[in-house]
Chains A and B, each alone.
Chain A
Amino acid sequence: MAEEKSGAKIGVYICHCGTNIAGKVNVEEVTKWAATQPNVAVAREYKYMCSDPGQDLIKNDIKELGITRAVVAACSPTMHEPTFRKAASDGGLNPYLLQMANIREHCSWVTIDPAAATAKAKRILSAQIHRLPLNESLDPIEVPVNHDVLVVGGGIAGIEAALKLSATGKHVTLVERNPSIGGHMAMFDKTFPTLDCAACILTPKMSALGKDPNITLMAYSEVEYVEGYVGNFTVKIRKKARYVNTDTCTGCGACQEACVVRKVRSEFDQGLGFRSAIYIPFAQAVPLRATIDPTKCLTLSKGKCKQQSCVPACGPGAIDFEQKDEVVEIDVGAIIMATGFELWDATQESRYGYGRLDNVITSLEFERISNASGPTGGEIVCKNGEAPKSVAILHCVGSRDENYQEFCSRVCCMYSLKFSHLIKEHLPETEVYELYIDMRCYGKNYEEFYKRLMDEGVNFIRGRAAEVTDVALSPEEEGHLVVKTEDTLLGIVRRIPADMVILSAGLSPAHDAKEVSQVFGFGCSANGFYLERHPKLEPVATVTDGIFIAGCCQYPKDIPDTVAQAGAAAAGVLGLVDNDTVKVEPTISYIDPEKCSGCHICVGLCPHNAIQYNEEKNAAEVIEAACKGCGVCVSACGSDVPQQRGYLDTQIFAEIEGALAV
């Protein structure tokens, strides 16, 4: 029981938060009630506690009234606990003698009845009023910070972040799972709305990265294991065997010409073109080194390639069938995740016939077709090699769809317009139809691009395509695909003959986004993309200090926004690794060696291996630098010996008491 005699003098500050709290909770009533509670010296209400005058209320009461504890009943501590703890500290009170009572996210915003909300606010506040006399002064722990950075993913986001960090002198390790960096952007032909050539703007950055002395590029590598905490991460990276010595390989490509296995569907060409078993994924690859696909190479998969023609073809003699994966370990202070997206698998929408009907292709496949260095040399042709006389572009495939992904993928309207333009440019006589629900052209110069396409004679039909079929219902439809759709502006159902149907498929999270997030220790959103710390104010940070996210791995976005996020993540990282130390929460465990019975249970339980057994003292002891403050040891001990500073059993009991006392 928090007795009157405890000597603690609590200041209670109840925030209106405009009408966010005061619109539901009777703040005046709660303030009057709070003033009557045990150990409360003063209870005040204010419109915006987080403002300067609001914070000054606390500082003044510390100075003038000599309050020794404070509770701010306001928003979530995730929002403003650092703000108010700093105010307390500036006022001369140890920051850990201040608690927050969340009467907004947990009360005013979620309760219908005002009287019920007011009663709940009192209960939430009462818990903290009972707890506070038991709070102890604690000092944040300063840990050293490693100045190096890890960037995971070598698409435009990862490349941009790495280059920005390198420019400040930081050392960056960039890990990319594919044999070359470049990501999806390297596959595109042109980029909207400027119609810049994607490769022309990307490859200089790729090249600069490859040569940058501050950047260690580990392509064809994956992160396997991460441990540690902000400023001090240890990362294990598996450098997969290319079976080619990357020091001697010059990237000349003679091996892929000589290889006897020639018909492997090229991943880079979206399966429309072929590569060899030993291959360089595309001509501008960085690093420009060959890689052997061990599942297709006859030597590696079957042990029998009579010719092994790659070996004599290679001037420097770089082929090495004995090469093994190499696992390296690095220490970094911060991590940026830039692992990108995967295109939504259009085979899931059977009504569109992708994978069943010839000439129904995805957007990425069309990128490769229209790309001059793609499988058709930039000629827009159907499977039979002939130019299409009519092309239908179907928007929102897999997006804005309750059956698949509810969200909008942001870029598809714009890339569809881009495709229309490219088709009209290559094939002026070809009819192009865009079947859309809405035209989302929100960015700079995007609406103007849309207007331009309207003037280029593209047919815009407002209607989501119902099906794509090759069953002709009239002589005109023979030999063509038919797209059936409702034209909602005309109010009729139409059947549009098309030689080529492009599915503007949406962007999905990477198939292993969840697993990857678990390796690193942060979370995912409900839609599968990585979860940002705050959707408005912290879009590139995660809840885990020291780990940032940038680009489409956070949510679909276009290249300008991706580059902006990459810069933002780099800035966030610099805010961390540009310092020599970082403060971490002191809410760690301690073990009284006198009371420990030596059972060793806690030693094995600690998730961070932060408890060791001291043979001399015959007691377990906490390695303070490694303890992360989970409290598992505290709850496990049969003798109640370990205690967690800031979360003592007595403090938790007091909160429970307070919550149920009202």
Chain B
Amino acid sequence: MSDNGFEPRLIGFLCRWCSYNGADLAGTARLKYPPNMVPIKTNCSGRVEPTHIMKAFADGADGVIIAGCHPGDCHYINGNYRTAGRFPLMEKMLEQLGLEHGRVRLEWVSAAEGDKFARVVSEFTEEIRALGPLGWSGQFKDEAAAVAPEAVTA
């Protein structure tokens, strides 16, 4: 626990087939883990783009997890291979932008791995707590507002 009471704000991109169900299983099993991460669901981890990750950091996240199916298990055959291929490049890009290593993490969590999900979230929360707040949101809020998406009128 850090002295200044910093609570990391985390975003988790979960794929609907494996990791989202793995997270559900952690819930059904009543496993307990820190509440810092808000899950965002996509059909496949291959849908997740660097812009989504950048948006998360720009809006105030201190850490981002991407969780997908284990290689070979992807519901869409090889979507997770795309994720695996993109991730090292994105890590490098983020580091060049000034992000400390370890603020973004890729994990494979199957629908049967509730315990792994809970463990990963717990570990990641503590790692980000140790890294401290990122503090990017102030810088980018104005720029983000300028490119705000138009809402669909009812």
**B56 neighbours in A (Cβ, 8 Å):** 656, 660
A631 at the interface (CB under 8 A from B): yes
A6, A119, A543, A649: which contacts B35 (Cβ < 8 A)? Answer: A119
A141 interfacial by beta-carbon distance below 8 Å: no
Q: Which residues of A contact B101 (CB under 8 A)?
A: none
**Residues A635 and B11 in contact, CB atoms below 8 Å apart:** no
Nearest B residue to A117, CB-CB = B35
B153 lies within 8 A of A607 (CB): no
B142 to chain A, nearest CB (A): 12
| Contact between chains at B82 and A635 (CB < 8 Å) | yes
Contact A587 B149 (CB under 8 A): no
**A64 on interface, CB distance cutoff 8 Å:** no
CB neighbours of A661 from chain B (8 A):
59
Chain B residues near A68 (CB-CB < 8 A): 154
Does B106 reach chain A (CB closer than 8 Å)?
Answer: no
Main SS of chain B's interface residues?
loop
Map CB proximity to B onto A339-375 as digits: 1 under 8 Å, 0 otherwise: 0000000000000000000000000000000000000
Does A656 lie within 8 Å of B40, measured CB to CB?
yes
Tally of contact residues, A, Cβ under 8 A: 67
Q: A459 contacts the other chain (Cβ, under 8 Å)? A: no
Within 8 A of A (CB), among B106-153: 110-113, 118, 137, 145, 148-153
Closest B-chain residue to A3, C-beta based?
B151
A109-B28, A111-B35 are contacts. A659–B40 as well, Cβ < 8 Å? yes
Query: In the complex the two chains form, what is the Cα distance from A634 to B86 in whole Å?
Result: 14
Docked Cα-Cα span, A44 to B41, in Å, equals 24
A residues within 8 A CB of B150?
650
Give the residue name and chain of the B residue nearest to A1 (CB). B148
Least Cβ distance of B122 to chain A in Å? 10
A124 touches B38 (CB 8 A): yes
User: How big is the B interface, by class?
Assistant: 35 or more
A9 touches B79 (CB 8 A): no
Within A522-580, which residues are at the interface with B (CB < 8 Å)? 523-526, 531, 543-544
**A608-B151 Cα distance, complex, nearest whole Å:** 32
CB proximity of A106 to chain B, nearest CB, Å: 6
CB-defined contacts of B21 to chain A, threshold 8 Å: 78, 543
Residue in contact with A112 in the complex, picked from B11, B17, B32, CB distance below 8 Å = B32
Q: Are B75's CB and A544's CB within 8 A?
A: yes
A-B pair count, CB < 8 Å, reads 171
A652-B149 contact given A607-B76, A630-B46, A660-B59, CB 8 Å threshold: no
Mark each residue of chain A from 6 to 18: 1 if its CB lies under 8 Å from any CB of chain B, else 0: 1111000000000
What's the least CB distance linking B25 to chain A, in Å?
Answer: 8
Contacts of A653 in B (CB 8 A): 52, 55, 149
Q: Which residue from B39, B46, B112, B149 sits with its C-beta under 8 Å from A525?
A: B112
A330 at the interface (CB under 8 A from B): no
Is B2 among interface residues, defined by CB-CB distance under 8 A? Answer: no
List A contacts of B17 (CB < 8 A).
Answer: 543
Q: Is the CB of A656 within 8 A of B59?
A: yes
Complex CA–CA separation, A50 to B130 (angstroms): 41
Specify which of B27, B52, B59 lies most central, judged by the most chain A CB atoms within 10 Å of its CB. B27
For residue B95, CB closer than 8 A to chain A, the reply is no
B73 within 8 Å of A (CB atoms): yes
Contact A647 B153 (CB under 8 A): no
**A135 / chain B contacts, CB cutoff of 8 Å:** 152
B61: interface (CB < 8 Å): yes
B24 near A632 (CB under 8 angstroms)?
Answer: no
Q: Is the CB of B38 within 8 A of A659?
A: yes
| A contact set with B: CB distance below 8 Å | 1-3, 6-9, 68-69, 76-78, 102, 104-107, 109-113, 116-117, 119-120, 123-124, 127, 133-136, 518, 521, 523-526, 531, 543-544, 587, 605, 607-608, 628-632, 634-636, 644, 647, 649-650, 652-657, 659-661
Q: List 28 A-B contacts (CB under 8 A).
A: A1-B148, A2-B151, A6-B153, A105-B23, A111-B35, A120-B38, A133-B151, A134-B151, A134-B152, A523-B69, A531-B111, A543-B75, A543-B111, A629-B43, A631-B42, A631-B47, A631-B79, A632-B76, A632-B79, A635-B46, A635-B82, A636-B82, A644-B43, A647-B42, A647-B43, A656-B55, A657-B55, A659-B40
**B interface list, Cβ under 8 A from A:** 9, 11, 17-18, 20-21, 23-24, 26-28, 30-33, 35, 38-44, 46-49, 51-52, 55-56, 59-61, 69, 72-79, 82, 86, 110-113, 118, 137, 145, 148-154
